[in-house]
Amino acid sequence: MVELGSGDATAISDVVSSLPGLRVRGFDISPPSVDKARENIRARGVEDRYTVELGNFFDHADASGGPQIATVISNPPYIPAPDRDILMPELWGGVHGNDLVLQLLKSGYDNVIAAVASYSDPLTTIRTAEDAGYRVANFLAMGLDYGTYSSEPKVRDHIRRLVAEGRGWAGDDEYMVAVALFTRNPDVPGDRADQLLRALQL
Ligand SMILES: C[S@@+](CC[C@H](N)C(=O)[O-])C[C@H]1O[C@@H](n2cnc3c(N)ncnc32)[C@H](O)[C@@H]1O
């Protein structure tokens, strides 16, 4: 698999550790995150099967899909804001918060495993996935409280506006995130897109 935005790599290194056949090539644009990721990967002893490189995922031609790599995984930046001038610009997901997941869904992978936030225009994300030939094979949804970055006043106000426009859901201090498998693999049956929308309160 390839990974957009490895962060400190703790999330996926445990998965690599428990699945001996799995190899992951990750990218992150944040130098401190890449340093931390490499440290954590070494500490878990999976450096032969999990690498993290510094750079924009989409600048790496060989990571952008194609027949040899079927699956991309990502907890992509999904903070919506009018511009990138927020507390942690690396977490900016565009005006509606879903720019990066939309770009992933247009990159040609058979499987896209991605976090989808309820306040980041999930309906457009799911409709874009459908238009690109994906079905929602399944998902895991959870409720989250606003963290440091969603609580920034500029972001919080923007989320309120998006919700008022019908572009998602958020409570006063809470939202939902689902990790969904979007697939084009005909051997994986079913489509839970409607269930996913309901889990995100839409
Ligand atoms: C929400 S964090 C996820 C971190 C980690 N995967 C986790 O789940 O804990 C998103 C990460 O994506 C990185 N990122 C943002 N844009 C990127 C891009 N275009 N290419 C690669 N990484 C990117 C950020 O630096 C950040 O570490």
Contacts of 60 (CB under 8 A, 6+ apart): 27, 53
Q: What are phi and psi of 80, to 5 degrees?
A: -85, 140
Ligand 1 neighbourhood includes 75 CB (under 6 angstroms): yes
- How large a percentage of the chain has pLDDT more than 70? 97
Q: What is the pLDDT of residues 138-186, one digit of tens each?
A: 999 999 999 999 999 999 999 999 999 999 999 999 999 999 999 999 9
Return the pLDDT at 44: 96
> Cβ–Cβ contacts within 10 Å for residue 181, how many?
20
Ligand 1 neighbourhood includes 29 CB (under 6 angstroms): yes
Q: Tell me the domain boundaries of the chain.
A: 2-199
User: What is the Cα–Cα distance from 5 to 91, expressed in whole angstroms?
Assistant: 10
CA-atom Rg of the chain in angstroms: 17
User: What is the Cα–Cα distance from 72 to 111, expressed in whole angstroms?
Assistant: 6
Q: What is the pLDDT of residues 57-83, one digit of tens each?
A: 999 856 555 557 899 999 999 999 999
Q: What is the pLDDT of residues 10-58, one digit of tens each?
A: 999 999 999 999 999 999 999 999 999 999 999 999 999 999 999 999 9
Ligand 1 neighbourhood includes 90 CB (under 6 angstroms): yes
Burial class of residue 201, CB neighbours in 10 A (0-12, 13-18, 19+): middle
Return the pLDDT at 64: 52
The best mutation among 15, 28, 59, 64 to test binding of ligand 1, ranked by most ligand atoms within 8 Å of the C-beta, falls on 28
Topology of 2-199 in CATH? Rossmann fold (3.40.50)
Position 105 confidence tier, pLDDT thresholds 50, 70, 90: very high
Q: Considering only CA atoms, which residue is closest to atom 8 of ligand 1? A: 75
Do residues 29 and 90 touch, judged by C-beta distance below 8 A? Answer: yes
Contacts of 131 (CB under 8 A, 6+ apart): none
* Closest atom, ligand 1, to C-alpha of 76: 10
At 81 the three-state DSSP class reads coil
